[in-house]
Structure formats: C-alpha cells, structure tokens
C-alpha cells in the first residue's frame, strides 16, 4: 500500500487533494526534464560561444605574432641600413688630392667615374677596395676597403657598386691604358 493510499484511508487527505498532489508531482518531474533540456541547450550554446571566443583569441594572437615579426624585420632592415651608412662614412678612403680618373660600370649600363690615387687604382683593380654609394640620388662615390665592403654587402647589397674579384698580389694587373 502506498503512502497516498494510507493518507486516504486515514482520512488525512481527500481524493481531490491526492489527485492534485500527484498532478503537481508529475508537473514538477516534467518541468525538471524540460529545465534539464533547456540547461543542456544553454550549456551547449555557452560552450559554442567559448569556442568562438577562443578561436578569435587564437586568430588575434596569430595576427599579432605576424605583425610583430614584420615590425621586427623592418626594424632589422632599418638598423642594417643605418649601420651600412655609418660603416661607409667612417671607413671611406677617398682622398682630396686624388688626381686620376677611375671609370667603372654601375648596374652594368652606366659608365661612372671617381677620382683616385695611383695606389687606390691598383687596389680597386686587384679587388682589395670597392666603390660604394650612400644614396642613388647623389653622385658621390666612396672608396672602401675590402673588409668594409664585404660587411656592407652582407648587411645591404645595394650600397656597393663595384667590387672586382680578388687578384693575388704577385700577379700583374693590366692597365686600361
């Protein structure tokens, strides 16, 4: 015998009250199931939102990383550019008393000239010196020692215009005259 039947027999509740209690119990059970389904749907939506947020965070991190890499690359290029300028200015061996004209090709199309001493002419021909330019807009050419020219070429190749291949010191260099 159930508790409901016992209450009815004892006269503590009427049939109507028992039926009403049973209906309320069923409604509560139904509501609990419904709430559970709604709660699962809300949890699924929340999980989906969290996945979207996480995905957007990862995309932003990737964009930021790429942007930082690009900025770092630009910073290094600027740094190398300025270092080349400094190296060329501080190591140039142009002499004001130079009287000989040395002709060379720029971009294998243009014949240019620079004033050099006889010793510089010999070193340029032997590949022990190079000719560089600070800016394409200015026709001022710098004569640079081999080591400086190599360093500048490693950092930024656009500054060095002419660097002949090295000739050993015991070989005679043919004069263009």
Reported pTM: 0.57
Residue 103 near residue 113, CB atoms below 8 Å = yes
pLDDT tens-digit map of 62-82: 999 999 999 999 999 999 889
End-of-domain residue from the set 37, 65, 83: 83
* Structure confidence at residue 172 (pLDDT): 57
For the chain, 177 residues long, the average pLDDT of each consecutive 10-residue run is 73 79 84 82 89 92 96 93 88 83 81 87 86 80 88 83 70 51
Domain that holds residue 133: 92-162
pLDDT on residue 59: 94
* 5 and 72 co-located in one domain: yes
Q: Give the C-alpha separation, 67 to 16, whole Å.
A: 75
Do 43 and 100 sit in the same domain of this protein? no
- Is the same domain home to 70 and 124? no
Q: Are 50 and 121 found together in one domain?
A: no
Question: How many domains in the chain?
Answer: 2
Q: What is the DSSP letter of 92?
A: -
So what's the pLDDT on residue 169?
58
Residues 76 and 56 in one domain: yes
């Amino acid at each position: 015998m159930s508790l409901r039947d016992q209450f009815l027999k004892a006269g503590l509740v009427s049939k109507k009250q028992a039926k009403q209690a049973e209906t309320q119990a069923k409604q509560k059970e139904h509501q609990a199931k419904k709430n559970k389904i709604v709660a699962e749907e809300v949890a699924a939506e929340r999980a989906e939102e969290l996945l979207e947020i996480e995905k957007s965070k990862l995309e932003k991190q990737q964009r930021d990383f790429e942007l930082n890499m690009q900025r770092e690359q630009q910073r290094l290029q600027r740094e190398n550019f300025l270092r080349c300028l400094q190296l060329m200015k501080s190591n140039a061996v142009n002499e004001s008393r130079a009287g000989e004209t040395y002709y060379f090709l720029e971009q294998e199309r243009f014949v240019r000239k620079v004033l050099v001493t006889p010793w510089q002419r010999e070193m340029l021909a032997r590949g022990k010196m190079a000719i560089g330019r600070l800016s394409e807009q200015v026709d001022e050419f710098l004569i640079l020692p081999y080591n400086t020219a190599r360093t500048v070429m490693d950092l930024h190749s656009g500054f060095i215009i002419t660097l002949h291949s090295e000739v050993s010191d015991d070989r005679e260099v043919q004069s263009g005259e």
